[in-house]
């Protein structure tokens, strides 16, 4: 079935396709539940893209037990449950998965099939599965309908033992390796990057490795660069890499070159770690960021039309100033929040456009390191 997109000034064309299931995330410490929240990379990415006023189509599957109101309805599978992850923050290092937590998949929804994807073209595609829902044939279909496909490596290399604990396999053994030459970007955390040969993969597609508080690195066939981080008060690392990818793609959609778009990615990653679960974004901060991005974008030429690596990957003049402007916006926003918190008539200052009914249960959380 072909979807017709109205071509009117008030309805932006959906330039991005996000593919990945929503999840129910449960955070535990000391055997007790400290938070329950909407999860899945798709939830964090769509939250960022909405904040950046980027229109998108989201393909996601859930079960009949899905409990969070969302603005982009998923496909409800009547015979399945929603994917559920339990994150244990006090069980130490889990072999080859996450150093900061042990992650277990306790329920799993159906995979996303090629036939579940819309029958239309997109500028950008994002394969961001977290529970094994992205199939090789689904990714191949995304390559066919999207001009540029961005993949989070966790969608490719995650495996699960008999208890549901997340393990990682080598990228060459994942069943997706043959598709690398058809991808534009592959994003991985520094831990996940150990499961691929970066020097080899960069010959096929661009690789972005995130380093948390140390920013990120971008590798392409002819070079590499480091992108500076932003200061953050980390409370919960969940979703930081997803928000990075959302900010990165959002920057490219708005016309930024790769180094500047990676700064936007780092910026949203730093915002996300300061929250438990899906972050709340300050409305005025979002407006300032969009103004900064519009000022920085390359006039008259979108990123997809600049296929020359030398142009797309070279840090443009004013890159450091752009970083400083984003940092300044963050500081101003923090000061405004402090001022509002002292005012008895403070107004609502955050936006959660995608997940209006998100529930949180915070009981003596040990993740707040602000003191």
The residues facing 62 across adjacent strands are 76
Residues 209, 225: contact at Cβ < 8 Å? Answer: no
Question: Does the structure show a pLDDT above 70 at 316?
Answer: yes
Higher-scoring residue by pLDDT: 10, 185: 185
Higher-scoring residue by pLDDT: 3, 137: 137
In this structure, the strands spanning 32-39 and 23-29 are: antiparallel
Higher-scoring residue by pLDDT: 174, 366: 174
Q: Tell me, what's the pLDDT at 309?
A: 59
Segment 279-289 mean pLDDT:
92
Segment 94-122 mean pLDDT:
85
The residues facing 63 across adjacent strands are 77
SS3 40: coil
How many residues would you count in the chain? Answer: 371
Closest CA to 154 of 127, 182, 118, 177: 127
pLDDT class of 333 with cuts at 50, 70, 90 = low
Q: Which helix (H) or strand (E) holds 324?
A: helix 319-342
* Mean predicted lDDT score pLDDT of the chain: 84
Q: Tell me, what's the pLDDT at 12?
A: 47
pLDDT class of 252 with cuts at 50, 70, 90 = very high
Question: Does the structure show a pLDDT above 60 at 10?
Answer: no
pTM of the model: 0.84
pLDDT tens, position by position, 337-355: 554 444 554 433 333 333 3
How many Å apart are CA 254 and CA 282, to the nearest integer? Answer: 20
> How crowded is the C-beta side of 142, counted as CA atoms within 13 Å?
31
**Hey, what are 355's tokens?**
């997940």
How many Å apart are CA 365 and CA 36, to the nearest integer? Answer: 12
Q: Tell me, what's the pLDDT at 308?
A: 52
- Number of Cβ atoms within 10 Å of the Cβ of 193: 22
Domain covering 16-281 in this structure, CATH number: 3.40.1190.20
Segment 90-95 mean pLDDT:
54
Q: Of these residues, 236, 242, 260, 282, which one is catalytic?
A: 242
pLDDT class of 101 with cuts at 50, 70, 90 = confident
Reduced DSSP (H G I as helix, E B as strand, rest coil) percent helix, strand, coil of the chain, to 5:
35, 25, 45
Opening angle at CA 357, ends 27 and 233, nearest 5: 50
Determine whether 191 is an active site residue.
no
Segment 140-147 mean pLDDT:
97
SS3 248: helix
Residues 42, 21: contact at Cβ < 8 Å? Answer: yes
Domain extents for the chain?
A: 16-281
Q: What percent of the chain has pLDDT over 70?
A: 79
């Amino acid at each position: 079935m072909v979807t017709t997109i109205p071509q009117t000034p008030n309805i932006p064309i959906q330039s991005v396709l996000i593919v990945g299931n929503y999840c129910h995330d449960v955070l535990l410490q000391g055997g007790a539940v400290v938070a329950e929240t909407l999860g899945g990379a798709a939830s964090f990415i769509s939250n960022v893209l909405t904040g950046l006023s980027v229109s998108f189509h989201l393909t996601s599957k859930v079960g009949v037990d899905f409990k969070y109101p969302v603005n982009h309805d998923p496909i409800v599978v009547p015979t399945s449950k929603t994917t559920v992850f339990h994150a244990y923050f006090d069980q130490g290092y889990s072999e080859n998965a996450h150093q900061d937590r042990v992650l277990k998949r306790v329920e799993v929804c159906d995979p996303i099939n090629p036939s579940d994807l819309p029958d239309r073209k997109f500028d950008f595609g994002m394969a961001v599965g977290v529970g094994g829902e992205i199939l090789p044939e689904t990714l191949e279909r995304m390559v066919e309908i999207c001009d540029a496909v961005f993949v989070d490596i966790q969608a490719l290399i995650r495996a699960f033992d008999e208890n549901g604990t997340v393990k990682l396999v080598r990228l060459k053994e994942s069943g997706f390796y043959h598709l690398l030459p058809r991808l534009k970007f592959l994003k991985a955390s520094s831990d996940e990057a150990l499961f691929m040969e970066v020097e080899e993969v960069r010959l096929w597609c661009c690789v972005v490795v995130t380093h948390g508080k140390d920013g990120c690195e971008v590798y392409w066939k002819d070079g590499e660069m480091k992108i500076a981080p932003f200061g953050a008060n980390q409370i919960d690392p969940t979703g930081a890499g997803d928000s990075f990818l959302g900010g990165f793609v959002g920057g490219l959609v708005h016309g930024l070159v790769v180094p500047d778009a990676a700064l936007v990615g780092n910026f949203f990653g730093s915002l996300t770690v300061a929250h438990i679960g899906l972050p709340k974004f300050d409305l005025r901060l979002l407006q300032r960021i969009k103004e900064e991005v519009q000022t920085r974008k390359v006039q008259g030429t979108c990123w997809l039309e600049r296929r020359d690596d030398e142009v797309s990957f070279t840090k443009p003049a004013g890159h450091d100033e752009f970083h400083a402007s984003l940092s300044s916006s963050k500081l101003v926003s923090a000061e405004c929040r402090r001022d509002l918190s002292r005012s008895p008539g403070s107004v609502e200052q955050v936006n959660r456009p995608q997940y209006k009914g998100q529930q949180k249960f915070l009981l003596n959380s040990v993740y707040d390191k602000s003191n």
